[in-house]
Structure 1
Amino acid sequence: MMVFSATWFLLEQEGLLAQACLCNGLTALRRANLGDKKGLFYSAFFELSIGFERTLKLVLILDHMARNQLTPPDSKTVEDYGHKLRALFDSTKAICTTRGVTALDAFQSDSLPIAILGFLDDFAHPGGRYSNINKLTGHKHQSMADPIVQWGEIANRIMGGHVTPRERKRAELNGQMANVAFGNAAASLISDLNQQLMGVASLHVRASELDTAAKHAVYALVTLIAALREVIDSLCDSAWKASPAGRSGMPDVPDMKEFFQFAWADRQYVMRKRMWP
């Protein structure tokens, strides 16, 4: 019977945690929209920020183990990063540079995946994830932009520079069809992500825009997760080779890429998919 070390089980559990958070976050983001679905944006931001944080910290841990005969780093090495996704990603890129891993080379600072990761970094800050409560209670952390408003701006960026003309036209047609169907016979009490009330036609346009933007945002994040899977796979290979001579034979490092196999960046597949994994 195969016996695994305590370290193996802890890494397995952390991989499962990261997987669950990322999948739940992608699903929530794909389903989020206006009205009573607006709360799903917050669910997506919480889950995705935690999922990327834990994934990036796994990179740091595996790199340290590979360089130190499978000894994990001390708690301070990981804790000092807090929830700072930008700093964690920069350290991950530095590890890739040192090891000659090219999986993250395509993710420049102005790319959509990194823009979204930066947004999640802001959300992970107490001024982001507690934005509503901070404003209600007069807390000192009030300087950051409302996360929902920020997401609306990201959606605008996607609609302006990442969608096809056909997708843009479809959103406009949804508004025109609503206008023809309802005319002056209906009114909307639903607000946009910036709390501005909309007419029936503009509501249908905006709901379609947010749905379209979510597809592109999810694809952008899946490409990033898939690249991080390659990084983790390389680090696991290095860690397996670093096992010191004379060790008992109990495995210390699972095949961590298995936890991220859901992230296959086939564009057509991802754009159609609504639930993850």
Structure 2
Amino acid sequence: MKVSPDDFADSFRLLQQEGALFRSCLCSGFSLLKHANPGDKGAYYSAFFQLSIGIERMMKLVFIVRHMADNDLAAPTRADVRKLGHDLSEIYRTLRLDISEASETDESSVHRQILGFFTEFATSTRYHNLDALTNGKPTRDPLDAYNRLFLRIVSDDLDRRLLQQISSQSRAMAEALEDIVGVIGHGLDGRLISLPNAFMLGPLHAAGTPLVIWRIYELLAPVRDALDSATDDAQQTNWRVIGGTAAIPFMNEFQDFLWNDREGVLEQNEWP
């Protein structure tokens, strides 16, 4: 089959490239977060950068593709997209995405806490270390904020028997080695790590981080579905307006890793 440049509008290639961008960001972010631990804080920062960017760009694609579907393939203006800003919670609301776990007014929802965390990181807390060093505007330490989110999800979702096992084994190891082993280091909360905590943090994060990742998956499910729906609508508009010239790619090709398989996600170690 011979393919001509006339078979594709510029928007087809640009949407493909943006899809590849958000997919790469999210996959890198999930892989980095899965392997992060309090002894390697740099991995957390890298994960937060990748995930906040990926979530934002994915949601802005929903906005753009919806606009093209409703306006004979005309894309929104740069000003329209810039108005969305970087507040992920506000973009989520603007797109009328539904977090099924909570009502619109339930600010205690863990999904809203996740959105709030990534919004803060995207807009301010990524500069926390520099701001604190230079006496700038005080912001929350993103590592401490993530730690609070992590502990909430562990408290809500981690099997109580496993948590008790991790805790008791860590205390036993600390008691057996306290005369010959010491710890110099700070946890994600900025406090010095005690010996029992030093033995507990590794197993706790290995068990709890997959639960955090699944919660982010739940948050992204409405975004994924909205992009699929907008793509279907825009492809119908595509056919009606310019016929066989492709202006809208199949955006679900960039969401193939966002499946509804909790056990599969919990066991996953690397994202494509």
Does the TM-score normalized on the shorter chain lie above 0.5?
yes
Name 1:86's counterpart in structure 2: 89
1:30-85 deviations in Å (ceiling 9; x for gaps): 111112x1111111111110000000000100110111011100001111122110
C-alpha distance in structure 2 between counterparts of 1:230 and 1:49, whole Å: 19
Does residue 267 of structure 1 match 2:241?
no
Contact 1:175 1:204 in 2 (8 A): yes
1:68-124 deviations in Å (ceiling 9; x for gaps): 01110000111112211011100122xx5xxxxxxx351435332332121000111
C-alpha distance in structure 2 between counterparts of 1:170 and 1:266, whole Å: 26
Q: 1:175 to 1:64 in 2, by over 3 A?
A: same
1:266 shift after superposition:
1.2
Gap regions ≥5 residues in structure 1 = 97-103
Name 2:197's counterpart in structure 1: 202
Q: Note the 1:1-277 alignment, pairs <5 A.
A: 1-2=2-3, 3-35=7-39, 37-93=40-96, 104-108=98-102, 109-125=107-123, 127-139=124-136, 141-142=137-138, 144-179=139-174, 181-243=176-238, 245=240, 247=242, 249-277=244-272
Contact 1:223 1:264 in 2 (8 A): no
User: TM-score, structure 2 length as denominator?
Assistant: 0.91
Letter in 2 for 1:124: A
1:246 shift after superposition:
5.8
Contact 1:26 1:44 in 2 (8 A): yes
Q: 1:246 to 1:231 in 2, by over 3 A?
A: closer
Contact 2:26 2:50 in 1 (8 A): yes
Contact 2:147 2:188 in 1 (8 A): yes
Q: Across the two proteins, how many residue pairs are aligned to each other? A: 264
C-alpha distance in structure 1 between counterparts of 2:174 and 2:151, whole Å: 22
Identity %: 31
Contact 1:69 1:244 in 2 (8 A): no
1:276 shift after superposition:
0.9
Contact 1:152 1:193 in 2 (8 A): yes
1:205-255 deviations in Å (ceiling 9; x for gaps): 233323333111101112233332211111111111113646252111111
Letter in 1 for 2:76: P
SS in 2 for 1:253: coil
1:25 shift after superposition:
0.8
1:159 shift after superposition:
2.2
SS in 1 for 2:86: coil
* Worse overlay, 220-229 or 41-50: 220-229
User: TM-score, structure 1 length as denominator?
Assistant: 0.89
